[in-house]
Amino acid sequence: MNLHALQHHQFPSQRFTYSVKDTALYALSVGVGDDPLDPHQLRLVYEKTLRALPTFASVIAVPAPWIRNPAFDVHYERLLHGEQTLTMHAPLPANADVEAHYRVIAVDDKGAQKGALLHFERSLSELATGETLCTVTSTLFLRADGGCGSFGVPPAAWPSAPTHAFSGTPDFTDELTTTARAALLYRLNGDLNPLHIDPAAATAGGFDRPILHGLCTYGIAGYLLVRTACEHDPSRLRVLNVRFKSPVYPGETIRLEAWRGPEGIHFQAIVPERNQVVLSNGFARIQ
């Protein structure tokens, strides 16, 4: 890859408007509304009382596939979305005009045979007030671009999990069974990758059938935390970090297993039908 081009590229800021319809659609796409008589769920989909899920930020003002810019010379066909972190500075309004700023924070070279980690940041500010709402950091695993050098300072590691975490009985669990059409709905948030809808594209990618978006699994985990650890109050979820471990197929159950630590909640998400961990190294900070 062209490390110099990545380090010095200037991303133009973007302005984006989202409506209550977008906010409600996102909530529906991560499983809210399976009980339309539940007042807690209605607050996340009904415009009269609408509150945005924090993970809605993961689909707001997402830039075009910038990593494919020929100037960067990245082998994007070997790229994996490794981790996702959300830091909330203020609750997301149900509808707003926002301005997004983008930058590559760092590239962490692991060696010619091991690849490199690229840390990309997107921050959202409300135009009306200038207040910074959130910071979204994506860690991209460039499997074929190691040995090219590093720059910047990678984000600090999250607090270590307590010794009892990820073994034995979780402190709490919650789960949601996705529908067979979950990916068809989630893609309407903007990620139109055919891997999630076209059986031929899924087969070419090495899957038996279309898979669920990783960020949909992430959003479901966030929703489960909101309704358990946050007692249905979205504003209490301030930090959410995960590592993407394995894909989910629409129709499968996503079970959150969580352990409380001194600095936050440590969790993983599994698909019990296959006993497969799909999100690992989860960490959430609750206000």
Active site residue 220: no
Is residue 97 part of the annotated active site? The answer reads no
- Checking DSSP bridges between strand 237-244 and strand 253-260, what pairing results, if any? unpaired
Buried b (16+ CB within 10 A) or exposed e, 129-163: eeebbbbbbbbbbbbebbebeeeeeebeebeebee
What tokens does 49 get?
């009382």
- Selection from 54, 60, 53 nearest residue 24 by Cα: 53
Q: Which of 60, 115, 146, 211 is catalytic?
A: 211
d(C-alpha 237, C-alpha 227), whole Å: 10
Among candidate residues 82, 214, 222, 264, the one labeled active-site is 214
Active site residue 197: no
Residue 245's nearest CA partner among 272, 275, 214 is 214
Query: What are the C-alpha distances in Å from 41 to residues 73, 180, 182, 253?
Result: 45, 21, 17, 19
Among 38, 73, 171, 191, the one annotated catalytic? 191
Query: Is 196 one of the annotated active-site residues of the chain?
Result: yes
Catalytic residue among 119, 196, 213, 266: 196
- Run of H or E including 218: helix 214-227
Residues catalogued as catalytic: 191, 196, 211, 214
